C-alpha cells in the first residue's frame, strides 16, 4: 500500500497514472479492504510520517460524505464500520507525532459528519442513543484536558478536533456542558500557551455555533481570553494571536452580545484592540484585525456603545488615525505613488494599513452617527494638523474626506472647507492631492445651501 501511495504522488507520469488506476480499481471493487489497508498504514509503528499522512489523506476522502466520488464508508460492513471508528480513536490517542495526530483528527472529523449527523441518524454507528458515535466526545474531552493528558501538544490537537465537531454535534456539545467546563477551566489555567490558544478558540467557536442561552455562561471568560491574548502578544506568538483575533471578528459580527459584559465592566476587548492598533511594533495583520474588530463591533452595537461605552468612539477614532499615519515615505516611494495615481488596483495594493484605517474610520463614524463622535473627530483633526509631520496633516485631511458625507451642520462644513483650502499649497504632493480630493468630496455634499455659498470659494482650488 505504501508503494501504491508513493506511486500516486510520483513525478513519473507513467508510474503515477498506473498507481492511480490501481487505487481506483481497489476503491470500486473492494472499498472495505482499501479502508482497512489504509488504516493499517496509519497504525503501523514502522511507517514514516509522510506515509501515514499520505494514507490519511486518502482515508479521509473515503470517510467524507461530502466527497461523493470517493465516499465509501457507507458501503462497508457494520462490524468494519465499528472497527474503523474505534481504531481511529485508538490511533489518535497513541500517536506521538503531532502532525500525524492532526491528520488523524481530520479523518475523525470527516467521519463524524456522517456517523453523528443529528439531522439524519441513518448513518449512526449506534442507534437509540443521543449520538451516533458515543465514545467520540468523551474520548476527546479526556485527551483535551491538560490535567489528564500530560502532553500539551496532544491536548491542543484534541481541542481542535472538539472545535471542529461543534457544528456537527451541536446537541451533544450542549449535553456535555459540565465536562466541557472542566476542560475549559483546565485549559485556560494551563501554563502551555498552545493549550491556552486552543482552549480560547474552542470557546469562541461555541459562541459562534450555539444558541445564546447555551453560550451565555461563556461570556464571563472574555477577560481571561484577553489575558491569554496579551500573553501571546508578549511572547510574539503572532500566528496564534491572529487566529484568535479572526475568531473575535467573526463573533463580533454574529454574536456581538458575547462581549457586552466585559465591555461594560472592563472596556475589553476594545482597550486591548486599540493598544494593538496603536503599536507600531505590532504585526500588520494583527493591527488590521484589531481595528476590524472595532469597526465590526461598532456596526453591530452602535446605540449600545454610545449609551453604555461613550469612550468607545474616541478610542476607535484614535485607532483609525494611528493606522492612517502608516504611509510610505521617501523619494522613491513618492515617485511610485505618483506613477500609480491613475491605477486603482495599484493604489489598493499600497499603504495597506493606511487604507484600512481610512475605511474603518468611515464605517465607525457612519455606525455611531457623526453627531455622537464629532467632538472627538474634530479634536483629532485639530491635533494632527498642528503637527509638523506631513503624514499627520495628510491623515487629518483624509479623515475629512472620509467623513464629510455624514456632516449636517453648515458650520462644521465651513470649518472643514477652511482647513482643506489652507493646505492646497502644502509642500508635500500627497497632502496637496488629499486636500483637493477632499474639497471635491465637500462640493458633492447633500447640503444645498452650503454648496451654493461655498462653490465660488472652492472652485478656484479645483
User: What pLDDT does 335 receive?
Assistant: 80
Rounded distance between C-alpha atoms, residue 8 and residue 4, angstroms: 6
User: What pLDDT does 11 receive?
Assistant: 87
Three-state DSSP state, 432:
helix
User: What pLDDT does 178 receive?
Assistant: 95
Rounded distance between C-alpha atoms, residue 236 and residue 302, angstroms: 33
* Number of neighbours of residue 332 by Cβ within 10 angstroms: 9
User: What pLDDT does 347 receive?
Assistant: 55
Rounded distance between C-alpha atoms, residue 337 and residue 351, angstroms: 10
Long-range contacts of 177-186 (CB under 8 A, 24+ apart): 177/214, 179/138, 179/141, 180/141, 182/145, 183/141, 183/144, 183/145, 183/159, 184/221, 186/145, 186/146, 186/147
Q: Are 384 and 321 in contact (CB under 8 A)?
A: yes
Q: Provide CB contacts within 8 A for 392, sequence distance 6+.
A: 325, 384, 385
**What are the Cα distances from residue 246, in Å, to 104, 155, 204, 236, 348?**
25, 22, 10, 17, 22
Helix (H) or strand (E) holding 111: helix 98-115
Please list the pLDDT of the chain residue by residue as tens digits (462 residues). 878 888 888 888 888 888 889 889 999 999 999 999 999 999 998 889 999 999 999 999 999 999 989 999 999 999 999 999 999 999 999 999 999 999 999 999 999 999 999 999 999 999 999 999 999 999 999 999 999 999 999 999 999 999 999 999 999 999 999 999 999 999 999 999 999 999 999 999 999 999 999 999 999 999 999 999 999 999 999 999 999 999 999 999 999 999 999 999 999 999 999 999 999 999 999 999 999 999 999 999 999 999 999 999 999 999 999 999 999 887 887 788 777 776 655 555 578 999 999 999 999 999 999 999 999 999 999 999 999 999 999 999 999 999 999 998 888 888 998 999 999 999 999 999 999 988 887 776 655 554 555 555 555 555
Helix (H) or strand (E) holding 368: helix 352-368
User: What pLDDT does 452 receive?
Assistant: 52
Q: Model-level pTM?
A: 0.91
Q: Are 270 and 263 in contact (CB under 8 A)?
A: yes
Amino acid at each position: 500500500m505504501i508503494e501504491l501511495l508513493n506511486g500516486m504522488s510520483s513525478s513519473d507520469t507513467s508510474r503515477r497514472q498506473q498507481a492511480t488506476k490501481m487505487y481506483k480499481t481497489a476503491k470500486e471493487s473492494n472499498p472495505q479492504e482499501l479502508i482497512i489497508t489504509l488504516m493499517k498504514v496509519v497504525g503501523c509503528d514502522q511507517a514514516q510520517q509522510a506515509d501515514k499522512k499520505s494514507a490519511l489523506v486518502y482515508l479521509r476522502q473515503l470517510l467524507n460524505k461530502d466527497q461523493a466520488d470517493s465516499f465509501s464508508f457507507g458501503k462497508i460492513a457494520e462490524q468494519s464500520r465499528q472497527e474503523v471508528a474505534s481504531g481511529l480513536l485508538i490511533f489518535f490517542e497513541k500517536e506521538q507525532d503531532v502532525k500525524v495526530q492532526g491528520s488523524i483528527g481530520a479523518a475523525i472529523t470527516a467521519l463524524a459528519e456522517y456517523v453523528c449527523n443529528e439531522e439524519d441518524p441513518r448513518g449512526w454507528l449506534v442507534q437509540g442513543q443521543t449520538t451516533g458515535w458515543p465514545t467520540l466526545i468523551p474520548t476527546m474531552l479526556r485527551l483535551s484536558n491538560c490535567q489528564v493528558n500530560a502532553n500539551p501538544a496532544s491536548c491542543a490537537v484534541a481541542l481542535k478536533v472538539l472545535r471542529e465537531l461543534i457544528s456537527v454535534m451541536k446537541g451533544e456539545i450542549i449535553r456535555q456542558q459540565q465536562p466541557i467546563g472542566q476542560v475549559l477551566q483546565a485549559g485556560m489555567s494551563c501554563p502551555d500557551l498552545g493549550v491556552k490558544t486552543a482552549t480560547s478558540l474552542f470557546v469562541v467557536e461555541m459562541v459562534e455555533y450555539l444558541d445564546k442561552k447555551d453560550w451565555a455562561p461563556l461570556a464571563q471568560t472574555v477577560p481571561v481570553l484577553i489575558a491569554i491574548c496579551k500573553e501571546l502578544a508578549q511572547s510574539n506568538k503572532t500566528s496564534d494571536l491572529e487566529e484568535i483575533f479572526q475568531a473575535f471578528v467573526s463573533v463580533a459580527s454574529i454574536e456581538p452580545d458575547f462581549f457586552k459584559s466585559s465591555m461594560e465592566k472592563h472596556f475589553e476587548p476594545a482597550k486591548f484592540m486599540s493598544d494593538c492598533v496603536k503599536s507600531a511594533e505590532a504585526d500588520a495583520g494583527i493591527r488590521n484585525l484589531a481595528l476590524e474588530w472595532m469597526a465590526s463591533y461598532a456596526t453591530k452595537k452602535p446605540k449600545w456603545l454610545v449609551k453604555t461605552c461613550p469612550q468607545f468612539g474616541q478610542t476607535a477614532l484614535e485607532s483609525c488615525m494611528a493606522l492612517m499615519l502608516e504611509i510610505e515615505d521617501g523619494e522613491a516611494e513618492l515617485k511610485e505613488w505618483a506613477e500609480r495615481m491613475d491605477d486603482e488596483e495599484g493604489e489598493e495594493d499600497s499603504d495597506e494599513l493606511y487604507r484600512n484605517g481610512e475605511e474603518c474610520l468611515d464605517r465607525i463614524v457612519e455606525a455611531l452617527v457623526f453627531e455622537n463622535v464629532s467632538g472627538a473627530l474634530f479634536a483629532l483633526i485639530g491635533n494632527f494638523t498642528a503637527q509638523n509631520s506631513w503624514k499627520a496633516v495628510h491623515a487629518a485631511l483624509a479623515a475629512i474626506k472620509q467623513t464629510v458625507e455624514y456632516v449636517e451642520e453648515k458650520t462644521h462644513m465651513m470649518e472643514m472647507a477652511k482647513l482643506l483650502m489652507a493646505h492646497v499649497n502644502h509642500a508635500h504632493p500627497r497632502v496637496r492631492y488629499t486636500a483637493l480630493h477632499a474639497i471635491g468630496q465637500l462640493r458633492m455634499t447633500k447640503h444645498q445651501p452650503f454648496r451654493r455659498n461655498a462653490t465660488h470659494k472652492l472652485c478656484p482650488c479645483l
